[in-house]
Structure 1
Amino acid sequence: MSDEPQVLARVENGVGHLTLNRPRAINALTHRMIISIRDALGQWRSDARVHSVLLDGAGDRGLCAGGDIRGLRENVLASRPNDTRDFWRDEYTLCAVIANYPKPYVALMDGVTMGGGVGVASHGSIRVVTERSTVAMPETRIGLAPDIGGTWLLSRAPGEIGTYLGLNAATMTGADAVWCGFADHLVPSTNLPELRDALLAGDDPAAAVARFEADPGPAPLEANRDWVDSCYSAATVPEVIDRLDALGTDAARAASAELAELCPTSLVATLAGVRRSRQRDHLRDVLDQEYRTSSWLLDRPDLVEGIRARVVDKDNAPRWNPATIAEVDLAEVEQMIA
């Protein structure tokens, strides 16, 4: 293991600067990184010298590809599932800390920002994307369900767009992320170095972002709003699929085909989670719900298998268990989430 810090934390001109520093892994989050961010934010919270926080990522591929899912799989295979539960507990708690941080928290979501990357960015107070941003909650691809406050964000996207994003593990552009409430501003990537310099010079964060932002333009997802709302408002995943198949458009057929490849148990848990999150008034309650969901899924075979198929062996042929949505115990899922 490299001795190089996985998170660079320093104070410049009154700005607490956090840089995720695993560029070869697109800055995927380890437990060690979560603790480092938490400790830095805890120190800066009461430090009168620090008036704002800036989060960015090392390298040019993205802010953060998500959690270190290889490590999660290794914990399970080594009979250490509680190490993964500890990671999630600290990660979800960090999301609540960020959401309630008393100082401006600026996240630069350039490039890949997925899963855990959304957690450390989209709960901040000033969230910046670029035209290079690809933002997603891709958990149903690996046998998990949207977490890190993801169901809170998804449940508050326009109409049923969040349901679609969560079930289909679909990717948002920068403009989509602004429209869906995962980000606030789009700054062209060519302006990002100047914005970073202005922030680190101690400029007012809101004023600095306003100086460099651009109109994000129309969100591509918005053009899909009608058919997504019509199909994804169904009460169950099989009903969603039936509506997509009945609609029969190219986009609906593609969405149905995507769902057929994803983890059945994850799909049922995701739909239930997004719907329940809509009824909750506080992020902390949603994070509690997601912790229960993730812990429950950890005890099932799909998470290890999904990571094997998508990340380790990369054969993209996961053997889900159960293999079909009809075999998933909906009552068990509902009871777990409740």
Structure 2
Amino acid sequence: MDFGGGDEIRFERLGKAGVVTLTRPQALNALTHRMIKALEKALDAFERDAGVDVVIVKAEGRAFSAGGDIMHVYEARAGKPPVDFFADEYRLNARINSYKKPYVALIDGIVMGGGVGISFHGSQRVLTENAQFAMPEVGIGFFPDVGGSHLLPGLGGSFGMYLALTGNRVRYGDALWSGLATHTIKAADQAAILDRLCANGDPESVLRGFFVPARRETGQSVLEAIARHFAQPSLADIIASLERASGADEFAAKTLATIRTRSPTSLNVAWRQISAGLTLSMEACMKMEFRILNRMLAGHDFYEGIRAVIVDKGSTPQWRPASLAEVDAASVDAYFAPLERELDL
């Protein structure tokens, strides 16, 4: 089946399933514009096909998807920003969230950023013991997009706010405990699960038979600390809470040190975005994220973050403004202001 994805993404009709495989393992299956447009077309075709009962998304290699292919964003910084790439990606995220058939993501390895957008809005999010989830965007001067404002606010114990503001990775046990994952399985069972899904098209009955309960990796005392610190009513209050505890609490000190390396602008935007998302629909979240995206592409920190982390690999980004105290409320408001051309869904 060819939907225009070339050798970057493969589509198959196997039994009662439409099977999607990300095939850029050498690039950790980072999403390109071509992959996004092809997946959108495939989902339309699978939804119309009465013989397809379930859609399955999986990947080749050691990563499910490490995110979007953002080097093209950096390369376009002096010309026309790739707004269309993000617009199509956000439409796809919203499409998956409202998809009319079961949508099963088999996640084995790293899943971050754009990879989260094509997996965690589906009905079944299935993680193996090799899975690692993260939304690390504040570390590159960006924000947890691809529906992060819809996905993260609903996690219990302010866990979503913690993930958004730190960018920290979690494994499959924490993903299952928090509600990010719906099922956890053994990596060795993936082929058998795929065969069964294709044969009977009923993901719940199949996954129930392969489900392996995963213990959460984060201990109770740390979960309580996350809930206490990250439920504070403002970003400044979260920082102050961590500062008060940092002298005697290793978790607070370590978390505070992590946050202080992130873009001050991104932290402010992410805090407001995740707070707002709690009461917004997926569609409203995507429109909000598109507003933020347009302002990020016109700013400094996103390009600086890509330069430091990806181009110069591990250098220290020079954020502007450089500190949380220098970020004023009006500048944050501007990220959320209406656009002349809003995202159409």
Given candidates 133, 145, 153, the residue that maps to 2:151 is 153
CA contact (8 A) 1:153 1:181 kept: no
2:297 corresponds to which residue? 298
1:121 positional shift: 0.4
1:134 corresponds to which residue? 132
SS at match of 2:284: helix
CA distance in 1, matches of 2:328, 2:224: 30
1:242 corresponds to which residue? 240
1:185 corresponds to which residue? 183
CA contact (8 A) 1:137 1:166 kept: yes
1:297 positional shift: 1.1
SS at match of 2:13: strand
Q: CA 1:221/1:22 → structure 2, altered by over 3 Å: closer, same or farther?
A: farther
Runs (5+) with no aligned partner, structure 1: none
CA distance in 2, matches of 1:27, 1:116: 10
CA distance in 2, matches of 1:181, 1:86: 31
Structure 1 residue ranges (4+ consecutive) displaced by more than 3 angstroms after TM superposition: none
CA contact (8 A) 2:150 2:285 kept: yes
1:114 corresponds to which residue? 112
2:27 corresponds to which residue? 25
Residues 196-245 of structure 1 show CA distances to partners (whole Å, capped at 9, x for unaligned) of: 22223344221111111111123426542221122222333333222112
CA distance in 1, matches of 2:10, 2:47: 17
2:278 maps to 1:278: yes
2:69 corresponds to which residue? 68
CA distance in 2, matches of 1:76, 1:146: 20
Q: CA 1:180/1:334 → structure 2, altered by over 3 Å: closer, same or farther?
A: farther
Alignment of 1:58-97 (within 5 A): 58-59=60-61, 61-77=62-78, 79-81=79-81, 84-97=82-95
1:264 positional shift: 0.7
1:266 corresponds to which residue? 266
The code of the aligned residue for 2:205 comes to: A
Query: Would you tell me which structure has more helix in proportion to its own residues?
Result: 1
1:46 corresponds to which residue? 48
1:320 positional shift: 0.6
Given candidates 222, 226, 233, the residue that maps to 2:224 is 226
The code of the aligned residue for 1:74 comes to: E
1:146 positional shift: 0.4
CA contact (8 A) 2:53 2:102 kept: yes
Q: Cα RMSD over matched residues?
A: 1.5
Q: CA 1:45/1:4 → structure 2, altered by over 3 Å: closer, same or farther?
A: closer
CA distance in 1, matches of 2:251, 2:155: 20
SS at match of 2:157: coil
CA distance in 1, matches of 2:157, 2:329: 24
CA contact (8 A) 1:272 1:334 kept: no
Percent of matched pairs sharing the same residue: 36
CA contact (8 A) 2:53 2:201 kept: no
1:151 positional shift: 1.7
1:335 positional shift: 4.8
The code of the aligned residue for 1:32 comes to: R
Q: CA 1:330/1:222 → structure 2, altered by over 3 Å: closer, same or farther?
A: farther
SS at match of 1:152: helix
CA contact (8 A) 2:153 2:275 kept: yes
- Count of aligned pairs: 331
1:201 corresponds to which residue? 199
Residues 49-77 of structure 1 show CA distances to partners (whole Å, capped at 9, x for unaligned) of: 21110100111x12100101112211224
1:288 corresponds to which residue? 287
1:302 positional shift: 0.7
Q: CA 1:7/1:223 → structure 2, altered by over 3 Å: closer, same or farther?
A: farther
Q: CA 1:221/1:128 → structure 2, altered by over 3 Å: closer, same or farther?
A: farther
Residues 147-194 of structure 1 show CA distances to partners (whole Å, capped at 9, x for unaligned) of: 111121110111211111100001111111122222100001121221
Please report the TM-score for the alignment, with normalisation by the length of structure 1. 0.94
